[in-house]
Amino acid sequence: MAIRHPGRTRSLVSIMGRPGDGHTGKVAWRMVPEFLRPPSADPVEGMVGSFRRIGSRNRTVQDDEDVRVTMRRAMRRETGDGTGGGR
């Protein structure tokens, strides 16, 4: 978009990027089974669990509560069939 339509682009944000050194940002083999589990029956607690797995080592109870608040807010905004998050 930024290349083809620069007039329509105000800024760019890189998300989930990594430096490309081949080492940083890879999933540890011990975590692979965690990511292959079926989704949680409770999507809010499932997201809390995901953030615990991929988040910083010093997560707090308040960090988990922030995820819960954000997820509940996002779920209230959902107006479609619920599959948007997967896209």
pLDDT per residue as tens digits for the range 17-65: 777 777 777 778 888 888 888 988 999 999 999 898 887 788 999 999 9
The greatest distance separating any two alpha carbons of the chain, rounded to the nearest whole angstrom, comes to 45
pLDDT per residue as tens digits for the range 59-70: 999 999 999 999
What is residue 49's three-state secondary structure?
helix
Tokens found for residue 68: 């819960």
In the Cβ-directed half-sphere of 57, how many Cα atoms lie within 13 Å?
0
